[in-house]
C-alpha cells in the first residue's frame, strides 16, 4: 500500500487516507479502520506478514472486483488458525464471513458440501419478503441443496440423490449460487472461506471454478488446502493450475514457525517463558509445525501420566503413514531413526533401503533431503527425538 499512513493509540497504523477514501461504501471504510486497530490488539504468534496479505486482499476488492486467495501449507502448520483470526477481525468490524469446509469421505461424495455449509442458516433473522429478495428467482432450484429455503419443507436435509441433475440443471444451479453470493456481497463487505480444498469432490471443484471465473462483485474468496496431500495425480492440481491463469487469483504460503515463534507458542500455553532446552527439543522434533509442537509439548508436560505420545498425535501420524506403500513406510522409519533431515545420497546408501522408487517419492517432496516424525509405541518424546 502506498500513500501517507496515520497512527492511532498504541502506535498501530491505519491504511493510507487516500486508499480508505477510495472505497465505494462507508461500510468498507469502517471495516478497514476497525481492522487496523485490531490486527495487533491481542497475542497472536507470528503470521504478521500473512495477516497483512489477507487484509491487503480484502482491501483490494474496493474497486468492486472479486479476489481469490489460495492459502496453502502442510497439515498442522496453522492455516485454519490464521484464517479464523482474520475472519474474527472482519466480523468484529461488521463484515460478513461465510465459512464452509470440504469433507473427507471414504466412499462416495457430497456435492457442493462446503457451499451448503457456508450458506446454511441464511434464512435466520429474515422475514419472507427479505429472504425472497435475497434468494432471487431460483429459490426452488437452490432449495434442492438448501432445503431451508423451501417454505414447504424447510426441515428436510440435502442428500446426494436430490443433487443429481442434468448438465443444464447444473448450469442453472451454478448461476443460482452465483446470483445469491453476489446479492449477499452487495449488501455487506463479504469474505467466503472454503477450507480443506484437498478433500473437495469434482462437483464442488466445478462450482468453485465457475464462481471464480464469473463473480463480478467485491468479494474475497479464500481457499485453503494442504500442500502435502496433493500428489501428482490429485484432482485438485488441475483446478489450481486453472486458477493460476487468472489475474484475480493469488497464493499465500503458510510456512512453519521458526524457533522464536515456537517459543512464543509454548509461552502462550504455560503463561510464562519455557526452558530454552525444552524449546529447542520441541522445535527440533516438530520442525516448526504448530500442531506437532503443541502436541509434543502436551506430551512432555504429561509424561509422568503416560510414556506414550498423546493419542491425537499418534493417530494423525500413523494414519498418514499407513496409507503409503510398504516400501515407503520402511524408508520413513529409516528417516525417523535419524532424528532429523537425511540427505538423499545418504539415504540411498543405506543397506536396508528398500526401493529406488522411495527415493523418488522423497525427492518429489524435497529436492535434497527427507524428514518425517514417526511415533514409536511405549516411548517418551525424549526417547524418540
Q: For 39-51, what is the mean pLDDT?
A: 70
Percent helix, strand and coil across the chain, each to the nearest 5: 50, 10, 40
Q: Where are the extended beta strands (E) located within the chain?
A: 6-7, 13-14, 67-73, 96-101, 190-195, 219-226, 249-253, 342-343, 369-370
Kindly list the domain boundaries of the chain, sorted by start residue. Answer: 6-111+185-253, 259-301, 310-385
Residue 128 binned pLDDT confidence (cut-offs 50, 70, 90): confident
d(CA 147, CA 150): 5
Asked which of 50-59, 60-69, 358-367 is least confident by mean pLDDT, the reply is 358-367
Choice between 292 and 18, residue whose per-residue pLDDT is larger:
292
Mean pLDDT of the region 118-132: 86
Q: How confident is the model at residue 161 (pLDDT cuts 50, 70, 90)?
A: very low
**What pLDDT shows up at residue 11?**
36
Q: What is the mean pLDDT of the chain?
A: 77
Task: List the single range of 191-205, 245-259, 365-379 with lowest mean pLDDT.
Answer: 365-379
CATH topology of domain 6-111+185-253: Rossmann fold (3.40.50)
More confident residue, 51 or 167: 51
pLDDT tier, 158 (very low <50, low <70, confident <90, very high otherwise): low
Over residues 163-185, the pLDDT tens digits come to 556 667 889 999 999 999 999 99
Higher pLDDT, 16 or 153: 153
Q: What is the mean pLDDT of residues 122-134?
A: 85
Tens digits of residue pLDDT in 276-333: 999 998 998 889 999 989 888 888 877 644 445 677 777 777 777 777 778 777 777 7
Pairing label, strands 67-73, 249-253: parallel
pLDDT for residue 165:
62
DSSP string of 99-123?
A: EEE----SSS--TTHHHHHHHTTTT
Find the mean pLDDT for residues 148-156: 65
User: For position 75, what pLDDT does the model report?
Assistant: 92
pLDDT at 33 over 50: no
pLDDT at residue 153, rounded to an integer? 53
Task: Find the range with the poorest average confidence among 63-77, 163-177, 201-215.
Answer: 163-177
Amino acid at each position: 500500500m502506498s500513500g501517507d499512513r496515520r497512527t492511532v493509540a498504541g502506535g498501530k497504523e491505519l491504511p493510507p487516507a487516500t486508499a480508505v477514501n477510495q472505497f465505494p461504501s462507508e461500510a468498507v471504510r469502517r471495516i478497514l479502520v476497525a481492522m487496523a486497530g485490531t490486527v495487533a490488539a491481542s497475542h497472536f504468534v507470528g503470521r504478521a506478514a500473512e495477516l497483512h496479505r489477507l487484509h491487503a486482499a480484502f482491501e483490494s476488492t474496493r474497486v468492486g472486483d472479486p479476489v481469490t486467495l489460495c492459502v496453502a501449507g502442510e497439515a498442522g502448520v496453522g492455516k485454519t488458525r490464521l484464517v479464523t483470526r482474520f475472519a474474527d477481525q472482519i466480523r468484529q468490524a461488521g463484515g460478513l464471513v461465510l465459512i464452509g469446509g470440504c469433507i473427507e469421505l471414504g466412499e462416495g461424495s457430497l456435492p457442493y458440501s462446503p457451499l451448503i455449509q457456508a450458506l446454511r442458516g441464511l434464512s435466520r433473522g429474515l422475514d419472507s419478503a427479505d429472504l425472497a429478495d435475497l434468494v432471487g428467482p431460483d429459490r426452488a432450484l437452490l432449495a434442492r441443496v438448501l432445503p431451508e429455503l423451501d417454505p414447504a419443507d424447510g426441515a428436510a436435509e440435502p442428500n446426494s440423490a436430490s443433487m443429481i441433475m442434468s448438465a443444464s440443471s447444473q448450469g442453472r444451479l451454478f448461476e443460482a449460487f452465483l446470483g445469491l453470493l453476489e446479492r449477499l456481497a452487495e449488501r455487506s463487505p463479504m469474505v467466503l472461506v472454503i477450507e480443506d480444498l484437498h478433500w473437495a469432490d469434482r462437483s464442488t471443484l466445478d462450482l468453485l471454478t465457475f464462481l471464480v471465473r464469473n463473480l463480478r462483485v467485491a468479494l474475497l474468496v479464500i481457499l485453503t488446502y494442504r500442500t502435502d496431500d496433493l500428489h501428482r495425480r490429485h484432482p485438485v492440481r488441475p483446478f489450481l493450475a486453472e486458477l493460476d491463469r487468472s489475474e484475480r487469483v493469488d497464493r499465500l504460503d503458510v510456512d512453519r514457525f521458526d524457533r522464536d515463534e515456537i517459543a512464543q507458542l509454548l509461552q502462550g500455553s504455560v503463561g510464562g517463558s519455557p526452558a530454552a532446552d525444552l524449546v529447542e527439543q520441541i522445535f527440533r522434533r516438530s520442525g516448526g509445525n504448530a500442531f506437532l509442537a503443541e502436541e509434543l509439548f502436551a506430551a512432555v508436560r504429561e509424561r509422568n501420566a503416560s510414556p506414550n505420545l498423546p493419542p491425537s498425535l499418534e493417530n494423525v501420524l500413523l494414519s498418514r503413514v499407513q496409507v503409503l506403500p510398504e516400501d515407503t513406510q520402511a524408508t520413513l522409519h529409516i528417516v525417523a531413526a535419524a532424528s532429523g533431515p537425511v540427505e538423499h545420497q545418504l539415504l540411498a546408501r543405506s543397506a536396508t533401503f528398500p526401493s529406488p522408487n522411495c527415493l523418488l517419492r522423497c525427492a518429489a517432496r524435497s529436492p535434497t533431503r527427507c524428514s518425517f516424525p514417526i511415533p514409536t509405541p511405549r516411548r517418551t518424546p525424549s526417547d524418540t527425538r
